[in-house]
Amino acid sequence: MSATPQPSTLQPGATYRFIVSSAEEAVQTIRERLGENARVLTVRQIEGRGLAKLFRSPKLEVIAQVPETEPNLAAYPPTQDNGSILARSGGLSATETLDYEAARATAAHLQRDVPTKLPELLRRSGFSEAMLARLQGLPVFAEQDGQPLHHAITDVGRALRQIVQQRPARPLPARTAFLGTPGVGRTTALCKWVAREVFSCQRKARVLKAEFDRPNPAEGLAVFCEALGLPLDYFAPGQDDAFTSATPDEADGSLFADLPGLSLRSPEDNLAVSKFLDREAFAGRVLVLNAAYDPVMLRRAYAAGRDLGATHLVFTHLDELEHWGKLWDFLIEGELTPLFLATGPSLTGDCEVNLIDAVLRRTLPGA
């Protein structure tokens, strides 16, 4: 922003931009800074970024013009503001001119979009109707009537956290396979977790790349393992018994397997994967879901994972998801233990293990 416009520097016809919280503030600011004869040219709502816009009133951007016939500017003492000069002329049409009362009415209309009731706010955060119905049955939800919205948000957030914490969390077994449909970021999720095990937890690990009747490209997996100095084994059709005898778990740490993508159209195509998991005693089975998918596709993939004995859950592509509320259906109602959120494409970072805290921040800020 440029320096505060001073009465001695105001030029007839110049336009200034102000960011204010209400139409009343705009009127007062413009009169104090530009004088009684200044005109409001445009009023535009500026919303906050992300889900914060649901909990804060939008700001107003006001463009005002010093009249061509300059008033007695000496009558207005210098004060602090956030105005900045935009242009001397030529930027705005005369047909856009609004008086103060029109600006006030426009701002009032825009600000009516801010949610004032908890159910509406949760819907805008992405909560499904099923999850909303469940929450409305909680005592804390009924008690929120009549109290400030931010208090209700805190209470509901606390209730959600308690529900999740009451569910037993399964530790990840020494043999763990990563499952998921093609394109969900299954291999990337595996690399993120292995990198965490090696760097943050100082544990040994090794990786297995398996293929059956469907290819499992995972081109970057070999480079990743080489960079970290990790053993990388391969399993292909025809190696029915070779893998188990060659790689005991105790030798090189936990084993993490990257399997081919699952089929949703033909569940029978997943039989080879299921037999391999059972034969090789993979007690840990992490289902990887792309959070950007629509709820119907997520539920189908979730069901396919459960059919294969999934034990844990990872969500990927969180950097592409605007509303995180739909995740609560799987965190609250699902049987799988949440493992982490993948919040970016990096193979060795963007891994949010404080999953519940992260989802609360994005759906109920301040909870």
Is residue 84 located within the same domain as residue 20?
yes
The answer to the question of residue 7 being in a domain is no
Is residue 26 located within the same domain as residue 74?
yes
Is residue 83 located within the same domain as residue 204?
no
| Lowest mean pLDDT, pick from 45-59, 126-140, 154-168 | 45-59
In this prediction, residue 30 carries a pLDDT of: 82
The answer to the question of residue 218 being in a domain is yes
Average pLDDT over residues 160-189: 90
Is residue 152 located within the same domain as residue 262?
no
Spatial distance between the Cα atoms of 197 and 205, rounded to a whole number of angstroms: 7
The answer to the question of residue 6 being in a domain is no
Q: Which domain holds residue 148?
A: 118-166
Residue 204 vs residue 69, higher pLDDT:
204
Residue 202 vs residue 96, higher pLDDT:
202
The answer to the question of residue 8 being in a domain is no
Is residue 91 located within the same domain as residue 132?
no
Beta sheet of 205-210, edge-to-edge order: 232-235, 205-210, 254-258, 175-179, 284-290, 312-316, 337-342, 351-352
The answer to the question of residue 126 being in a domain is yes
Among 145, 166, 187, identify where a domain stops. 166
Residue 299 confidence class, pLDDT cut points 50, 70, 90: very high
Tokens 């763990």 belong to 176
Spatial distance between the Cα atoms of 28 and 220, rounded to a whole number of angstroms: 60
In this prediction, residue 177 carries a pLDDT of: 96
In this prediction, residue 180 carries a pLDDT of: 94
Residue 202 confidence class, pLDDT cut points 50, 70, 90: confident
Among 68, 95, 111, identify where a domain stops. 111
In this prediction, residue 344 carries a pLDDT of: 87
Is residue 156 located within the same domain as residue 244?
no
Which of 37-51, 75-89, 342-356 holds the top average pLDDT? 342-356
Output phi, psi for 32, to 5 deg: -70, -40
Which of 30-44, 119-133, 238-252 holds the top average pLDDT? 119-133
| Lowest mean pLDDT, pick from 33-37, 107-111, 275-279 | 107-111
Average pLDDT over residues 340-350: 88
In this prediction, residue 98 carries a pLDDT of: 37
The answer to the question of residue 36 being in a domain is yes
In this prediction, residue 87 carries a pLDDT of: 35
Is residue 151 located within the same domain as residue 182?
no
Is residue 61 located within the same domain as residue 152?
no
In this predicted structure, the answer to whether residue 71 has a pLDDT above a threshold of 80 is: no
Is residue 194 located within the same domain as residue 315?
yes
Tokens 């102000």 belong to 18
Average pLDDT over residues 173-193: 93
Average pLDDT over residues 134-143: 79
Is residue 274 located within the same domain as residue 357?
yes
The answer to the question of residue 206 being in a domain is yes
In this predicted structure, the answer to whether residue 192 has a pLDDT above a threshold of 90 is: yes
Is residue 315 located within the same domain as residue 241?
yes
User: Does residue 211 contact residue 235 with C-beta atoms inside 8 Å?
Assistant: yes
pLDDT averaged over every residue in the chain: 77
Is residue 321 located within the same domain as residue 204?
yes
Q: How many domains does the chain have?
A: 3
